[in-house]
Structure 1
Amino acid sequence: MPETHEADQKPLSFDLTRQPWIGVLRPNGTQEELSLREVFAQAKDVRRITGDLPTQEFALLRLLLAIAHDALDGPRDIEHWARLWSDPHCFAPIAGYLEDHRGRFDLLDEQTPFFQTAGLRTEKNEVASLNRIVADVPNGEPFFSARLPAVGRLGFAEAARWVVHAHAYDTSGIKSAMAGDPRSKGGKVYPLGVGWAGNLGGVFAEGRNLRETLLLNLVAADAVDFGAKGRRDLPAWRREHGPQGAERPPDGLCDLYTWQSRRLRLHADADGVTGVVLGYGDPLTSRNMHTREPMTAWRRSLAQEKKHGEPLVYLPREHAPERSAWRGLASLVADREQNRPEGSDPPSQLRPGILDWTARLVTRRKLQRGFLIRARIIGTVYGTQQSVVDEVVDDHLTMDVILLHEQDRDYATQAIDAVKDAELAVNTLGDLATDLERAAGSENESPRLTARDRAFAELEGPYRAWLTDLGQAEDPFEQREAWKAQVHTIITRLGRQMVADAGDAAWQGRPIPAKQGSVWLNSALADRWFRARLRKNIGQPSSSDQPSGTDSAADPSPKVHA
């Protein structure tokens, strides 16, 4: 626990409502730290929150949203939200709220330390290194850290950020048992999973400044369903901890966004934080939380349905580091009806509730066509039974809100189909790489994978630019045709280069089995097949950029798919 200052014997204090500790980025590119009061007061003059890691930004945003929800008592519905959106001083009441609860926002308070448990200790009175909560120093593997050999001390501002992050993203694994924890076995508690946000493929809507970002993610009470009637939704600083290990559902967004997935206590002196006591806190299953947790997409799990004997199970859809956000557009903009033909099974995936909420705002004309949002995508990839952090995902996709309109789906449909155009073209280029390898007498799959990776990389920038402009187009179908022509040009150029680089063996070729007999496959024939497939998959562009040498030969080759 915090020690007192030897000179004056006053208890240590670090008031998060008045002391700067949240990193922010200004529109001019400068960075600084602000207190909680300053963050809300200056939100329109802040571009966004920054963190030591992107996951820290996500965790801190959820903290700010919980404060806003509780202080503003809402929004109760879409009309209440619209009044907040139009009021430049909508966050003014938060200053009084923070003053009223100021004692609960002191990081070092002896009785109610922020996001901590007073008097927390392990059964053996151990105090761990700060490596346990600083996520950029994997415990036991600090080989690439600038903090070698360990984190010996943290300033109070940085420690506060890592405390919030630990509840959201702490790793799993065996942890020391806290005194009195009924889950203790030999002084240890065996793996119970990562912090709540670590289960999510985090998604939030980002506006032009922090004020817009906070409001865009301030979901109305009637947009989520926690199924709990009569229980008041309170954030962590306004509720008492229940018994260790006791399971309960969250009461609302304030509760969920500040979920205490760990029991934690900092040890500090007057110069900073020196150690931490960290153990498991409140368990929370991610199964079928799709009506409650709005900041992730969801996927149906047939395996979990069978395991638990339930007719329908949705789990958070985690981010794949190797897959850029634009390739997963369908999971962000396609609503349930677009994924579900009439009379069919429930949808295999659900877009994030935060984008369902944005869709309501667009459809009810609270946000106008032409307004651009960035869908920020943040998540963690864990390794070795979730006991270490392997990778952090941070990506974004800028789109016109018209893509989310519930009654005007043509824009979203064309945007999704444009991704499919790109995938078909990339597969075609991969087929060319395979054919060139076969012509040279090799069955190596590496060139195919390399070709696909390069093609997706070449298409990413043009697609993002095309998507940003799509909402301004009068005819989304015409824009789709323009995109297909652009894809054709890019993929044809890459294919032409691959043929030129194929080498003498591929140029000479060799016989391969065909539907009738055999065919002499060389780079020239592989090129003709490639052009015919590309034309079949995405059509014949009408632009003057179409490369010469197009051949309409039929494709007799065995099909090779990604």
Structure 2
Amino acid sequence: MQAGPGDRTAAGPHAQSSLDGGRRPPMNVPTTQPPRFNLIDEPWIPCIDRAGQRRELSLAAALQEAHLMREIAGESPPVTVALHRLLLAVMLRVYGLQDETVWEDLWRAGKLPSEPLQGYWAAWRERFDLFHPQYPFMQAVDARAKPKSVGTLLLDAASGNNGTLFDHHTDADSLALTPAAAARALVAMQAYGLAGLFLPGATFTSAPCVAGVIFLVEGNTLFETLMLNCFYPENRFIPSGSQDRPAWEMDDPLLPARTVPLGYLDYLTWFNRRILLMPEVRQAGVEVSLMTMGPGLRLDPLPLEPMKSYRVDEKRGHVALRFDEDRAVWRDSSALFRLHNSGYRPPQALDSLANLVLDGLLDRHQMRRIMALGMASDQAKIEFFRAERMPLPLEYLQDAALVERLAQALERAEGVAQQLWGAARTLATYLVAPNQDTGEGRSAQREDLDQLMGGWDIQRPYWSRLEVPYFRLMEQLPSAGEEALAAWFTLLRRTAQDSLERVLAMVENGPRGYKAAVQARQQLAAGLAKALPFAEAVSSTPTGG
């Protein structure tokens, strides 16, 4: 059992932060009825149970009943990620789990034992009160910050510089959040806050989960998901020192002033923002419409995030895989399994899974899933959220040759996509300049070609049709091998041809269109012969016009 609030080693009970003149100011609410919302007891974590029903659980229930829940279902991928990280921080603190024997005992039990949790809640209960007058959960005041709409806290809301596509709230709107919604927004902001200007001479810095896809291994229950993502050996990637603990155990999470986490628990609960919710007791209950927010702790240098996937660039160092609006994550999925390749650093959970398989704690023939979660941002603006799921056959974690075959399948798909683009370029060229091959008449201008091809968007249907078959390939490749690869190559060829034919159906009839279509089909046939194994590339060329 971890020490309670009486054992304070980082900062004494009277320690002061330079910007708040004390630990916490009194809340601006009636003193006769101070609001309370203890995250241990109050429902606020959205989950899907094993029957498919949506339920909101308290922090205690989410952990105690994790074996009865299928998954966490936040209102956005960043919220889902932040809630996982919070639960993982509690689990690691309460159960340790740095020892494989402890992990194995919990895994075989199939659920989390209640006694350690109950002891922890008893020791730290007041620190989980969202509106505690001195220690509000994951909050701190910045005296420089003026009260503003709580909409600023919502990553999916339009506020300030962050205008989103489907949200039409503005800073001037009277937006009010329930305590449950405010708590979710709070933990999400601490994990996903973007860099930007606060005041002259003071800036916000990016939170740990920004700038990269977060990967979580998914089990059959929430308990399994948490267990499969919480086994981190000591002193790896983010070492844990003797002072390491989650933010809520610190009298002042901003002290000691630091740019390097005290350890993994400090990192999981990193205080990226000084946020202070301002609750109001209204007739309908407690609501939050105002808050203050200022910069918190700065990570420097930015550590390698254990939940991200990196490739190693000679000049740029470790480069995290990011979401791309035009590129699904599965197209880069082979990199996730390159556990022993110096050019990559996959998510640490996969490395841990490989060790569990090697030690016989997990069957290498099991099928798990992996979630890719997060958002894409640019210049302090959120562009989109995304959540993807992929199958995760554990055999890929033990067989490097199998990973190479999967990489080959993806490389062939990329090669075919390039040839498809080339055929479309040829089609556009001959539509714009029919005499391109004779040198007579006008030449095709790049701007004209780009405009014409932009309307076709020829690669989008190609890739969208490959996603489900690729997941099937991932599942079949360990057992079917070359047969599965051959079927994949055949599918690539057929999908490319179908994609070109879809565009050709939109092309005008007549000599110009017919000539352009012939040239495009010939271009694609030649390109497929280069991009695919010869036996799979040989096929009759479509004759439609």
When normalised by structure 1's length, the TM-score is: 0.81
Equivalent pair of 1:325/1:395 in contact (CA under 8 Å): yes
Q: Partners in 1 of 2:476 and 2:411 — Cα distance?
A: 18
Q: Partners in 1 of 2:235 and 2:522 — Cα distance?
A: 54
Q: Partners in 1 of 2:312 and 2:364 — Cα distance?
A: 32
Choose from 268, 272, 278 the match for 1:267.
278
Distance 1:38 1:532, change over 3 A: same
Q: Partners in 1 of 2:499 and 2:349 — Cα distance?
A: 38
1:95 corresponds in structure 2 to 118
1:204 corresponds in structure 2 to 216
SS at match of 1:366: coil
Structure 2 unaligned residues grouped into runs of 5+: 1-25, 434-443
1:70 is displaced (CA, Å) by 0.2
Matched, 1:391 2:413: no
- Residue 130 of structure 1 aligns to which amino acid in structure 2? V
SS at match of 2:196: coil
- Residue 536 of structure 1 aligns to which amino acid in structure 2? K
- C-alpha deviations, 1:476-530, integer Å up to 9, x for none? 2332122112222222333344455544344553xxxxxxxxxxxx533442342
1:512 corresponds in structure 2 to none
Distance 1:109 1:526, change over 3 A: closer
Distance 1:192 1:154, change over 3 A: closer
2:261 corresponds in structure 1 to 250
Matched, 1:170 2:193: yes
2:102 corresponds in structure 1 to 80
Equivalent pair of 2:216/2:229 in contact (CA under 8 Å): yes
Distance 1:375 1:154, change over 3 A: same
1:163 is displaced (CA, Å) by 1.1
2:522 corresponds in structure 1 to 528
Distance 1:542 1:279, change over 3 A: closer
Choose from 224, 231, 236 the match for 2:236.
224
1:538 corresponds in structure 2 to 532
Distance 1:381 1:286, change over 3 A: farther
1:136 corresponds in structure 2 to 156
1:257 is displaced (CA, Å) by 0.6
Choose from 440, 460, 466 the match for 1:459.
466
- C-alpha deviations, 1:387-423, integer Å up to 9, x for none? x322222222222111122xx2232222221111111
Q: Partners in 2 of 1:453 and 1:133 — Cα distance?
A: 34
Distance 1:191 1:336, change over 3 A: farther
Q: Partners in 2 of 1:451 and 1:81 — Cα distance?
A: 49
Matched, 1:281 2:296: yes
Q: Partners in 2 of 1:507 and 1:144 — Cα distance?
A: 40
Distance 1:281 1:460, change over 3 A: same
Q: Partners in 2 of 1:319 and 1:74 — Cα distance?
A: 31
Equivalent pair of 2:258/2:297 in contact (CA under 8 Å): yes
- C-alpha deviations, 1:93-133, integer Å up to 9, x for none? 3233223211111111111111012xx2423x722211221
- Map of 1:394-473 to 2, 5 A cutoff? 394-405=387-398, 408-442=399-433, 443=444, 444-446=449-451, 450-471=457-478, 473=479
SS at match of 1:138: coil
Structure 1 unaligned residues grouped into runs of 5+: 177-187, 305-312, 341-346, 510-521, 552-562
- Map of 1:355-370 to 2, 5 A cutoff? 355-370=350-365
Q: Partners in 1 of 2:112 and 2:261 — Cα distance?
A: 27
Q: Partners in 1 of 2:77 and 2:205 — Cα distance?
A: 21
Distance 1:315 1:122, change over 3 A: farther
- Map of 1:44-123 to 2, 5 A cutoff? 44-76=67-99, 78-92=100-114, 93-117=116-140, 120-123=141-144
1:487 corresponds in structure 2 to 492
- Map of 1:508-519 to 2, 5 A cutoff? 509=515
SS at match of 1:445: helix
When normalised by structure 2's length, the TM-score is: 0.83
Distance 1:137 1:550, change over 3 A: closer
Equivalent pair of 2:367/2:392 in contact (CA under 8 Å): yes
- Residue 233 of structure 2 aligns to which amino acid in structure 1? A
- Residue 394 of structure 1 aligns to which amino acid in structure 2? A
Q: Partners in 1 of 2:492 and 2:432 — Cα distance?
A: 30
1:513 corresponds in structure 2 to none
Distance 1:532 1:550, change over 3 A: farther
Equivalent pair of 1:263/1:281 in contact (CA under 8 Å): yes
- Residue 368 of structure 2 aligns to which amino acid in structure 1? I
356-365 or 16-25, larger mean C-alpha shift = 356-365
SS at match of 1:376: strand
2:27 corresponds in structure 1 to 2
Choose from 311, 323, 327 the match for 1:323.
327
Q: Partners in 1 of 2:514 and 2:536 — Cα distance?
A: 33
- C-alpha deviations, 1:364-387, integer Å up to 9, x for none? 33221332222211222223x31x
- Residue 294 of structure 1 aligns to which amino acid in structure 2? P
1:245 is displaced (CA, Å) by 9.5
439-448 or 166-175, larger mean C-alpha shift = 439-448
Equivalent pair of 1:371/1:400 in contact (CA under 8 Å): yes
Q: Partners in 2 of 1:86 and 1:101 — Cα distance?
A: 28
1:216 is displaced (CA, Å) by 0.6
Distance 1:95 1:412, change over 3 A: farther
Equivalent pair of 1:21/1:35 in contact (CA under 8 Å): yes
SS at match of 1:483: helix
Distance 1:494 1:102, change over 3 A: same
2:349 corresponds in structure 1 to 354
Distance 1:429 1:484, change over 3 A: same
Q: Partners in 2 of 1:529 and 1:301 — Cα distance?
A: 34
Equivalent pair of 1:294/1:353 in contact (CA under 8 Å): yes
Choose from 219, 233, 236 the match for 2:244.
233
Equivalent pair of 1:421/1:537 in contact (CA under 8 Å): yes
1:215 is displaced (CA, Å) by 0.5
Q: Partners in 1 of 2:336 and 2:482 — Cα distance?
A: 20
1:319 is displaced (CA, Å) by 2.2
Equivalent pair of 1:173/1:190 in contact (CA under 8 Å): no
Equivalent pair of 1:81/1:220 in contact (CA under 8 Å): no
Equivalent pair of 2:247/2:269 in contact (CA under 8 Å): yes
Identity of counterpart residues, as a percentage?
24
Equivalent pair of 2:237/2:306 in contact (CA under 8 Å): no
Equivalent pair of 2:37/2:131 in contact (CA under 8 Å): yes
1:263 is displaced (CA, Å) by 1.1
